[in-house]
Amino acid sequence: MVSEYLKQNTAEFHDAAEKLFNSHKIFSKTFTLEDYKKIINTNYLMLLHSEDKIFTSLSDKFSEKLHLDRRVKLPLIEKDLSSLDLKNQKETQHLEFADEHEALGAMYVIEGSTLGGNVIAKQLSKTEGFDDVTFNFFGCYQENTGMMWKNFKEVLDSEVTPENYNKVLSGAKKLYTFLLNVN
């Protein structure tokens, strides 16, 4: 299954992202508002440079099966930017996906951040200093987070054939690399 292949082959990127964002501080309740601003701004830049390109790279089949209309996150994270007094920006770097398989790999990174973001939002909402923070991006699916992740993995696993696993992995690595170097 391509979802397991991606999980195994992107683990080092996932760990590097957690380190970059000081994720260990979230559960020790030492994560600060400045840490949160960094994670929101970096995810914003990732979405700004990739979301539309991913969605336009996917065929109608994937658009329908993945319910892309319910997965749009850029406007949500822009609300978070505004509430944190951070500025919207313009695209500054070139990021392209060669085909829909690379786009699916990039989408894996974004959907994974949403899955983890739900945990982050719940934890930070109990942390001092986060009383007035809105979690539009990290809480985007609310109680449907598990269902949306499961749908994404099922579509990936049923539609991506083994000969395309490396293309999907390439897209995931491309977006992780962007995320880790965007600042």
Average pLDDT in the chain: 94
Phi-psi group of 154: left, alpha or beta (phi > 0 → left; psi -120 to 50 → alpha; rest → beta): alpha
pLDDT tens digits, residue range 15-48?
999 999 988 899 888 999 999 999 999 999 999 9
> What separation, in Å, do the N-terminal and C-terminal C-alpha atoms of the chain show?
33
Confidence of residue 116 (pLDDT cuts 50, 70, 90): confident
pLDDT above 70 covers a percentage of the chain that reads 99
Mean pLDDT of 144-154: 95
DSSP secondary structure, 40-68, as one string: HHHHHHHHHHHHHHHHHHS-HHHHHHTTG
pLDDT tens digits, residue range 61-79?
999 999 999 999 999 999 9
Which residue do the tokens 């994270």 mark?
77
Q: Which CATH architecture has domain 2-181?
A: Up-down Bundle (1.20)
Specify whether the CB–CB gap between 40 and 80 falls below 8 A. yes
Confidence of residue 91 (pLDDT cuts 50, 70, 90): confident
pLDDT at 183: 66
Phi-psi group of 136: left, alpha or beta (phi > 0 → left; psi -120 to 50 → alpha; rest → beta): alpha
Q: Is 167 helix (H, G, I), strand (E, B) or coil?
A: helix
Q: Where are the domains of the chain?
A: 2-181
Confidence of residue 115 (pLDDT cuts 50, 70, 90): confident
pLDDT at 160: 97
